[in-house]
Amino acid sequence: MTSTNASYLIVGAGVFGVSTAYHLIQKYPNASVTLVDRDAYDAESRVAASWDWNKVVRADYDDKVYCKLALEAQEIFKSDPLWRPFFHQTGVYWTCRSDYAQNVINNHKELGRNDDIIALPVSEARKLYGGIFDDADYTGVKEVLINRASGWAAAGDALRAVTKKCLELGVKYVTADVATLDFNGRGSCTGIKTKSGEILSATHVIIAAGAFTPTLLEWSAKNSGNAGLRAGERILAAGITTGMAQLTQEQHAKYKDMPVGFQGYTPDEALYWKYPPTKDGELKWWGSKIFTNTREVLPGRHISSPPPTHDYNQWKVPGPLKQDIVEARNLWYGPKSAEWNMTKHRICWDAFTTTSDFIISPHSDSKGLYVATCGSFHGYKFFPVLGKYITQMLDGELEPELMEKWAWDRQRPDSSQNVEYPNCEMKHLLQPSAKL
């Protein structure tokens, strides 16, 4: 049942959900494909991690599976008329304190790529790009990886355009808050129930709700009496602060051609990313704190979940998190950035696994239910191809290596080797004395 009589309900219209809809409707033009999201796809403001000013689109991975997948996605960003307008090939500049640069270069060689990718000693690298990164913190840096084939995408604009394309191809879009999954008497998932009480049914229900996935599964476990639905240790919701400065014309001229910048990448150090300015001269970067928000989502059930307001309080960024942004700025741009005019702060929520692997899998505790999420801070760049693999998973055609890597039920190591795993609790950052 994969073509005419199948119906697909996708909860969440971020990159995992929209890419799934895009690939499904092209493979099965007569199938019913519906996206359900709490926010309209063209809303002024959305909670989706995928809805953002910009996201890096790079293939600089030391994991060969993601390296290959990212190259595949990047090709589409560069060549397909639907995606191309949103891609900016600025390159990336990555200060490496481990063997990361050589591992990435080896992967590219093994995959037969001749991209313009090199590792330079610090003394040479810091002279590049007019010396704009000369003031960065190079303590312990072994070499700098430069990949001129990578770049960034205008993330929210691309998400809106691809969603619009899906609608033109016949996908339905329902703006509603999903309160729970819906089940038949035998435990199979048959649809969803919205907060206003509406029930939508389908043969396939795909949860692509990003950071909200564990909460939705908790609520659904209660509603169905099936505790096996819960995410448990598999998925952790966490937030990161982003900040933006409005550059003056003179500052903009200096930074406008900069590559995406990365600092870090060993298990015991922070990771900082910087994006080139938007066309309006706004420069964005992240803080170093990736924080959980443990709260009671049901009586007696405490898990990490975005704040329980419609917009996750994403624009209400407390002082200590703004300070995190200042510290990250100073580490990269040095003292000259102290005078920059900070205009925007946002907390962006994503779903994480300890290995940073996605979960793209049938849910083992309910027939008809599938999970496609856990971007783990790096999922956006795969937007053009995620749905291809999610469709393969739905059709039982995913190759064994990917099936195992992205399985709902698999052994996962602890997070100690993962710098991009949540490293603190939000309330402790806001009131440092609370953890004493």
Ligand X SMILES: Cc1cc2nc3c(=O)[nH]c(=O)nc-3n(C[C@H](O)[C@H](O)[C@H](O)COP(=O)(O)OP(=O)(O)OC[C@H]3O[C@@H](n4cnc5c(N)ncnc54)[C@H](O)[C@@H]3O)c2cc1C
Q: Which two tokens stand for residue 375?
A: 């971007």
**Binding residue for ligand X, selected from 6, 15, 25, 71, defined by CB under 6 A:** 15
Residue 208 binding ligand X, by CB under 6 A? yes
**Cα 345 to the center of its chain, rounded Å:** 18
Angle at 36 between CA 34 and CA 40, to 5 degrees: 115
**Binding residue for ligand X, selected from 66, 286, 291, 332, defined by CB under 6 A:** 286
Number of residues that bind ligand X (CB under 6 A): 38
Distance of closest approach, residue 350 Cβ to ligand X, in angstroms: 4
**Binding residue for ligand X, selected from 345, 381, 388, 405, defined by CB under 6 A:** 381
Residue 278 binding ligand X, by CB under 6 A? no
Are 374 and 22 in contact, with CB atoms under 8 Å apart?
no
Q: Within a 13 Å sphere around the CA of 150, how many CA atoms are in the beta-carbon half?
A: 28
Residue 6 binding ligand X, by CB under 6 A? no
Residue 377 binding ligand X, by CB under 6 A? yes
Residue 287 binding ligand X, by CB under 6 A? no
Residue 370 binding ligand X, by CB under 6 A? no
Q: Which helix (H) or strand (E) holds 200?
A: strand 199-201
Residue 284 binding ligand X, by CB under 6 A? no
Are 62 and 107 in contact, with CB atoms under 8 Å apart?
yes
Residue 191 binding ligand X, by CB under 6 A? no
Alpha helices in 1-149 (DSSP H): 15-27, 64-79, 100-110, 122-125
**Binding residue for ligand X, selected from 24, 146, 216, 283, defined by CB under 6 A:** 216
Measure the CA–CA gap between 373 and 234, rounded to whole angstroms: 11
Measure the CA–CA gap between 366 and 34, rounded to whole angstroms: 20
**Strand partners for 45:** none
Site residues (CB under 6 A) for ligand X, limited to 228-257: 240, 242
Q: Would you say 17 or 362 has its CB closer to ligand X?
A: 17
Encoded one letter per residue, x for contact with ligand X by CB under 6 A and - for no contact, window 112-131 reads --------------------
For the chain, what is the largest distance between any 2 Cα atoms, rounded to a whole number of angstroms? 67
Q: Which helix (H) or strand (E) holds 163?
A: helix 155-169
Residue 21 binding ligand X, by CB under 6 A? no
Distance of closest approach, residue 412 Cβ to ligand X, in angstroms: 17
Measure the CA–CA gap between 383 and 369, rounded to whole angstroms: 22
Residue 350 binding ligand X, by CB under 6 A? yes
Q: How many CB atoms lie under 10 A from the CB of residue 80?
A: 11
Q: Would you say 85 or 308 has its CB closer to ligand X?
A: 308
- Please state at what angle helix 383-394 crosses helix 15-27, rounded to 10 degrees: 60
Measure the CA–CA gap between 231 and 213, rounded to whole angstroms: 8
**Binding residue for ligand X, selected from 14, 151, 277, 362, defined by CB under 6 A:** 14
Are 275 and 54 in contact, with CB atoms under 8 Å apart?
yes
Residue nearest to ligand X (CB): 375
Residue 39 binding ligand X, by CB under 6 A? yes
Tokens 């900040």: give the residue. Answer: 243
Q: Would you say 142 or 278 has its CB closer to ligand X?
A: 278
Q: Which helix (H) or strand (E) holds 239?
A: strand 236-246
The DSSP letter of residue 311 is T
Binding range to ligand X, per CB under 6 A, among 126-134, 182-190, 206-214, 363-371: 206-214
**Strand partners for 178:** 194
Residue 55 binding ligand X, by CB under 6 A? yes
Residue 16 binding ligand X, by CB under 6 A? yes
Binding range to ligand X, per CB under 6 A, among 13-21, 60-68, 111-119, 245-253: 13-21
**Binding residue for ligand X, selected from 6, 8, 10, 17, defined by CB under 6 A:** 17
**Binding residue for ligand X, selected from 348, 360, 393, 419, defined by CB under 6 A:** 348
Residue 373 binding ligand X, by CB under 6 A? yes
Interface residue list for ligand X (CB under 6 A): 11-17, 36-39, 46-50, 55-56, 177-178, 208-212, 216, 240, 242, 286, 348, 350, 373, 375, 377-381
